[in-house]
Chain A
């Protein structure tokens, strides 16, 4: 290798390496700041108790209401999104597989839906909620977040399914499988590891989004026991507490953010564990 090429190689490696590591550094930095700023407020009380009187002025209590509310909303919305998204993604890849134009048009529309800011979903969800005669509630929050993340679920499932080689379609159809048998026994199995990542992405977006639940889920210090009761959420807990003039309360905002991050991390690791356990290379 001559000198010029060596220099080229080095520069290329430095640029690509810098881009990768700086991103990791930024991620680390964000987590570090959240934990340092919220460290004093992070306690078992913060995680396991709902707010008590005077909580928002630095009084006793925790954000259990928001943790539970967020988990309810994120799990509920993810479930709905999977129930809607899985059939839609299968339709795109099983029945529309030979109609490239329609397929691409639907993909384009879904991408547009993906790109709509969540506050717009919030506003839409709010209108829908009033139209249906509902008040701000857990259910309204779940529906709005589901609307927000369904396009993500469909497009990511779709991406997974569309990488399944056409030869495998042909092989299973040539055996005399119907399209339904092909979809359930071949494609879903083949795509399984990829679906986990898709669900995680949707769940992460759902649990972390503040704007869509701002008008629709409301906010309360109580833990919701029913779908028609309002529910607090962690992103809003961060939002409200961060605006406080009292330093202790601002610390709690960071602690809430840290809890949110930890939840996403736990869900992500669990999902990855199960995805690996049941993936193709590890059949039993």
Chain B
């Protein structure tokens, strides 16, 4: 009975500021994605459309398959032979899941930001330059220019400009995470796949990353995995709630958070708040 009421309420919803964002065409479409690890069905028939230049939040408890979903999108699932992946993932018209052509190019379209920062074992400068060089840039001046530009893009330039040639180990975890983001942006991705990027960070650093995402979505499509309800509420333009490998609810955050339809989502919201 309750459920019915909320569904009608949805239609009468006063349009929130977030809703005023122009509806964007979807840039990434996932069709019938299934992932098995042996007999364990990790992802069950996932169908999903990701809007361009928006933050899509994959929300759900740990172990619900969010990270596996993210890893299917840049074919990192290939690294785990025990995973059997089927279905289609389209970027524009290309099915990236069922191709073995030019995997590095596909991965470059999908910038990855992992839970913990993994800087490369070279200097701060070379970390960003590594990404730029992967795009075939060899001119030293152009590399210098781009390193500065990318570090500025993540707001790290002023903090590191005097120690570009030191090891990233001299940076705080939050700064390292932004360095990894800059390195990822250097390969000119279309997407940013962020896998709980703030879970290892202190609140201040987390806030910096969150603010960055709000800026970056102007140029990139962001897919953020998180189990933190409040973060999802702060950032999401589009929310996908998952549990036990299934998409339970998805859509506009105003709708999903205010009027959750499923009992699982309701429960998660009660626990999360």
Contacts and interface: CB of A to CB of B under 8 A. Distances in A.
Contact of B107 (A175, A281, A283): A175
Interface stretch (A68-76, A123-131, A164-172): A164-172
A175 B183 contact: yes
B134 A177 contact: yes
Interface stretch (A33-41, A50-58, A185-193): A185-193
B114 A170 contact: yes
A171 B118 contact: yes
B111 to A, nearest CB: 7
A167 B114 contact: yes
A176 interface: yes
A232 to B, nearest CB: 42
Nearest to B125: A283
Contacts of A281: 167, 169
Contacts of A22: none
B121 A284 contact: no
A185 B122 CA distance: 9
Interface string A178-217: 1001000110011010000000000000000000000000
Most buried by B among A170, A176, A181, A282: A176
Interface string B66-82: 00000000101011111
Contacts of A21: none
B89 interface: no
Contact of B121 (A97, A177, A181, A280): A280
B166 interface: yes
B104 A176 contact: yes
B107 A189 contact: no
Interface string B82-124: 1000000000000000000000110110111011101011110
B138 interface: no
A173 interface: yes
Given A167-B118, A190-B121, A281-B169, A174 B80 contact: no
Interface string B193-215: 10000000000000000000000
B187 interface: yes
Taking residues whose C-beta sits less than 8 angstroms from the other chain, chain B's interface range is 20 to 34
Contacts of B118: 165, 167-168, 170-171
Contacts of B111: 174
Interface residues of A, number: 28
Secondary structure dominating the interface of A = helix
A283 B187 contact: no
Contacts of B184: 174-175
A171 B115 CA distance: 11
Contacts of B152: none
Contacts of B112: 170-171, 174-175
Given A167-B114, A171-B112, A171-B114, A283 B105 contact: no
B76 A280 contact: no
A280 B134 contact: no
Contacts of B105: 176
A193 to B, nearest CB: 10
B74 A186 contact: no
Contact of A170 (B76, B123, B183): B76
B181 to A, nearest CB: 11
B180 interface: yes
Nearest to A170: B76
A279 B118 CA distance: 17
A22 B81 CA distance: 47
B79 A283 contact: no
A283 B127 CA distance: 12
Given A170-B79, A174-B110, A176-B108, A280 B187 contact: no
Which 9 interchain pairs have the tightest Cβ spacing?
A: A176-B108, A174-B112, A176-B104, A98-B81, A171-B118, A190-B121, A189-B121, A168-B118, A167-B118
24 contacts: A98-B78, A98-B80, A98-B82, A167-B116, A167-B118, A170-B112, A171-B112, A173-B79, A174-B76, A175-B130, A175-B134, A175-B183, A175-B184, A176-B104, A176-B134, A177-B134, A178-B104, A186-B120, A186-B121, A192-B121, A282-B167, A283-B123, A283-B165, A284-B165
Interface of A: 97-99, 165-178, 181, 185-186, 189-190, 192, 280-284
Interface of B: 74, 76, 78-82, 104-105, 107-108, 110-112, 114-116, 118, 120-123, 130-131, 134, 165-167, 169, 180, 183-184, 187, 193
